[in-house]
Structure 1
Amino acid sequence: MLNIRNISPELEIKARDEINEVQTRITEDISQIRDWIKKQPHLTARIDDQFLLSFLRGCKYSLEKTKSKIDSYYTIRSLSPEIFLNKQINEKTMNLFKLGPFLPLLKPLSTDGCRIHLVRYGHIDFDIFSAEDLMKINVRILDIQLFEDDNVFIGGIQCVVDMSSLSLKKILKFDFVLIKKITIFFEKAAPYRIKGIHLINFPKECLYIINTLSSIMPKKIKKRFILHSSLESLYEYIPMKNLPQEYGGENGNLEDTILYWEKLFLQYEKFFEQDLKYGVNEKLRVGPIVSLESVFGLEGSFRKLEVDYNYKNEWCLRNCTKMAAKVRSLSAELQEIAISELNEDEQKIEDEINAIHHFVAGLPGMTKYQISDQFIISFLRSCKFNNRTVKKKLPNFMTMRKVCPDIFANRMVNEEMIEILKSSVHLPLPNPLDTNSSLIQISNYGNLNLKQYNIYEGIKLLFMMLEIRFLEDDHSSVAGFTFIEDFSHLSFSHMIAMNIGVLTKIMGYLRSGLPYRVKGIHIINAPWFVNGIMGLFRDILPLKMKRRFFIHKTLNDLYEHVPQKYLSKEYDGENGSSEDILKLWETKLLKYKNYFQYDFQFGTEVETSEKDV
């Protein structure tokens, strides 16, 4: 006999019509999931009927999706115990709970409708409570709903986020790693059916943060984000009568709702204590071990291209005719770095280059792509002569031209591009840090006229410059680049245009598709709120990149990494003036006009999209 609640006739009809529930099959479906859990050596999970039924409903009775979500539910809990497992109820917890930061309202939209969640963080004192404290409250209430609320899994959830009194300073208390963990939890692990996330009463200065958060969210959740300029706009989705009395509605008042949930919360104290024994043991998992980086890391920003490298191509590679490589000679200083740091072996260069030529020729769906020996040796150097890395990065590099057209398509050297150049958005300094050190690239997107050009046109120029330097200067592939981002002229409009999504996309290209060695990224002259945002952005970077990401309060801090003399005259340095540098680059860009025009026809014809690379 199943130990589950009976549902109303209205919910029963909706469950049948929308989530494929068949009453006569529920016992069998629950039994199949329970039997599967018992056979997983790494997984210790609840097998209560109501718990498993909630997951089945949240997954529309797809057994495979239910298994995946239950596994992910416990995996993410185990990887982030600070949010999902630290559930002790103490005085601090109850003091925060009584403020009602996260409240499921007493009545759903209708008998078979969505449960309404009200989120209010503006009145919380962030000097006493952390963003992590808030997330722990949210997670506990959601856990209770797994056992108490059928509307959540059949009708869904409409979430109203009231941002009144939520200042930019408070929002910056939410680090992006924490937010990313929560959004991935909802995407991959939680069985809740999110129907809408409605933001109301938001301060204008927080629009940038809202856009940024939206940009890093999974596509499915992003589609459910709705910004309302007035409560009347919200009423189109949630009628006023369904809101609490404090919002002009008839759905109880906040005080009574808090008291209801406080009583229920305390009833679950033993449940939370027992819940700590459930989770995963990765040592016992059959198959690849799941780690914090693989679940929450940024590698998804630029996914690996799977290339079918078949036996025929392998045979061709081994039996190819050897060709003499045509590459530039390195200076003695750079040669020493190439040997000691990049694993370069002069005796093997020709073989390495010929192998990559044949690899490119054998790629499925590849258009005729003419690449020089010099280009390949530069790619090999930037990948430290790791063939596996080259064979991942090179197809990505080619594919980007087709699937990332906002940056890599229509790279026309025309009047508009020259005007962007002359506005000093980018300044490639002529001399490297030292004879054997990295090239320096200064950018100031605040100089870009957003009334005439969009942010991607400025980024497009950056990558065109980097590609030219890569083709011409061996410092780029051997010693790498040092990037200086000057935010001195950055307006609020620039910040909205250059959100975390844009920045993440750039970092994804640099990591997984572009053959440039990033030696350092230095932020200078940033307003206080930008410093905070950049700090959040740094938190979500992979460890290797995070170590090279610096936010400098003063130029003196920068000089510890890039001595003043290596900067341009505008920064009181000796490394050329912007006027002379930009004149040189105007000539250089015009010289490469045909190259960029001709270059876009190359790439892959593999059916893929930007989310795959």
Structure 2
Amino acid sequence: MKFGAAEEAEIDELYEWFQQNPKLPKEIDRILLKRFYRCMYGDIKGTKKLIQINYGLRNKHSHIFLERDPTDSDSKQTFDYADLVPLPGLTAEGYKVNHTADTKAFFMVSDCRFNMYDGDVSTEGHLETFASGEVQIFDMNGYTLKHLSKMTFSTLRIYMAFLQEALPVHLKAIHIINCPSYLDKVVSIMKPFISREVFKLIHFHTVSLDSLYEHVPRSILPEEYGGNGGKLADLKAQLMAELSRKREYLMDPNHWKVGGEKENAERRRWPFK
């Protein structure tokens, strides 16, 4: 799918509005702006509201969304023990699948992905592919009651609020695999932070991965999960390389931090064409 002239004009207008809004950062990546627009099905008013909620939550919780570096020791520790990998391709419904874990690192990975198209970009046709939804997979293998006792409720609350209210893509499903015997305790902790609508999207896979395959095609799952999407280590290496390339973007306050009154004349203008 490709944005037509009318849609591109509306994106131009949204960008001008973004730059002139003192309650928003100085800059926004054009692809990210298109994601917000697509997520709200081209509804300008809805797009503006979603953008304001997104950046409002980011700046309210700066320790998660602003004070970050994908190459620092904390991030390295997270990526060493957790695999936060966007899986290749899309489901038959056009959904993007993510193998997820730690909160702060998860949102860095999301922001890195959200300024790219979800499909191949043709140099000739400039194909613009955005996923029509988001599917998350949480692997609880190795997760113990000790981990549960260390869970920070404030962080869980922020994560769920952003996921449900501010993400520029529609959440379609959450799959929890390798569920432990104490699953009821995990659910009792999470449930107060999850809306009824989102809770209906959660699928618990307690016996095997066969039930997961009914929702997520094996063609995009890593080999370690019975799929044909490549080795998890290779997918993770690609992600780490992309995070390194986009480190400056992820840490640039002009893209994320809400400051004082904006000085339009001093700002870098948008390269429309």
With over 3 angstroms needed to count, the CA separation of the structure-2 counterparts of 1:537 and 1:461, relative to structure 1, is closer
Higher relative contact order at CA 8 Å, sep ≥6: structure 1 or structure 2?
A: 2
Greater Rg over alpha carbons, structure: 1
Measured in 1, the distance between the counterparts of 2:189 and 2:54 equals: 28
With over 3 angstroms needed to count, the CA separation of the structure-2 counterparts of 1:481 and 1:601, relative to structure 1, is closer
Partner of 1:352, secondary structure, is helix
Shift of 1:482: 0.9
Say yes or no: does 1:430 pair with 2:74.
Answer: no
Measured in 2, the distance between the counterparts of 1:601 and 1:373 equals: 11
Matches within 5 A, 1:284-303: none
Measured in 2, the distance between the counterparts of 1:566 and 1:525 equals: 19
Say yes or no: does 1:465 pair with 2:109.
Answer: yes
Q: 1:530 aligns with which of 166, 169, 183?
A: 183
Say yes or no: does 1:515 pair with 2:168.
Answer: yes
Say yes or no: does 1:581 pair with 2:239.
Answer: no
One-letter amino acid of the structure 2 residue matched with residue 514 of structure 1: L
Aligned to 1:572: 226
Q: What per-residue deviation string (whole Å, max 9, x for no partner) do you get for residues 522-556 of structure 1?
A: 11112132245326744763343233121222222
Say yes or no: does 1:545 pair with 2:198.
Answer: yes
Q: 2:250 aligns with which of 596, 605, 610?
A: 596
Shift of 1:601: 6.6
Q: Is the 8 A contact 2:223 2:230 kept in 1?
A: yes
TM-score by length of structure 2 reads 0.79
Shift of 1:440: 1.3
Shift of 1:521: 0.4
Q: Is the 8 A contact 1:525 1:553 kept in 2?
A: yes
Measured in 2, the distance between the counterparts of 1:591 and 1:527 equals: 37
Measured in 1, the distance between the counterparts of 2:151 and 2:223 equals: 27
Matches within 5 A, 1:365-384: 365-367=23-25, 369-384=26-41
Aligned to 1:480: 133
With over 3 angstroms needed to count, the CA separation of the structure-2 counterparts of 1:360 and 1:600, relative to structure 1, is closer
Aligned to 1:15: none
Q: What per-residue deviation string (whole Å, max 9, x for no partner) do you get for residues 86-115 of structure 1?
A: xxxxxxxxxxxxxxxxxxxxxxxxxxxxxx
Say yes or no: does 1:558 pair with 2:215.
Answer: no
Measured in 1, the distance between the counterparts of 2:20 and 2:219 equals: 48
Give ranges in structure 2 of 5+ residues lacking alignment.
Answer: 120-128, 261-273
With over 3 angstroms needed to count, the CA separation of the structure-2 counterparts of 1:364 and 1:409, relative to structure 1, is closer
Aligned to 2:265: none
Q: 1:362 aligns with which of 11, 17, 20?
A: 20
With over 3 angstroms needed to count, the CA separation of the structure-2 counterparts of 1:468 and 1:491, relative to structure 1, is same
Q: 2:4 aligns with which of 330, 346, 352?
A: 346
Q: Is the 8 A contact 1:428 1:442 kept in 2?
A: yes
Q: What per-residue deviation string (whole Å, max 9, x for no partner) do you get for residues 364-404 of structure 1?
A: 4445x122332211210112222222111212222333221
With over 3 angstroms needed to count, the CA separation of the structure-2 counterparts of 1:531 and 1:485, relative to structure 1, is farther
Q: What per-residue deviation string (whole Å, max 9, x for no partner) do you get for residues 297-331 of structure 1?
A: xxxxxxxxxxxxxxxxxxxxxxxxxxxxxxxxx3x
With over 3 angstroms needed to count, the CA separation of the structure-2 counterparts of 1:605 and 1:595, relative to structure 1, is closer
CA RMSD of aligned residues (A): 2.6
Shift of 1:415: 4.4
Shift of 1:347: 4.7
Shift of 1:410: 2.0
Aligned to 2:51: 394
Shift of 1:419: 4.2
One-letter amino acid of the structure 2 residue matched with residue 359 of structure 1: W
Measured in 1, the distance between the counterparts of 2:153 and 2:138 equals: 15
| Misfit runs of 4+, over 6 Å | none
Measured in 1, the distance between the counterparts of 2:151 and 2:254 equals: 25
Partner of 2:174, secondary structure, is strand
Measured in 1, the distance between the counterparts of 2:63 and 2:23 equals: 22
Q: What per-residue deviation string (whole Å, max 9, x for no partner) do you get for residues 479-517 of structure 1?
A: 222100111111223212335553332121022222122
Say yes or no: does 1:490 pair with 2:134.
Answer: no
TM-score by length of structure 1 reads 0.38
Measured in 2, the distance between the counterparts of 1:464 and 1:582 equals: 14
Q: Is the 8 A contact 1:510 1:516 kept in 2?
A: no
Identity level (%): 22
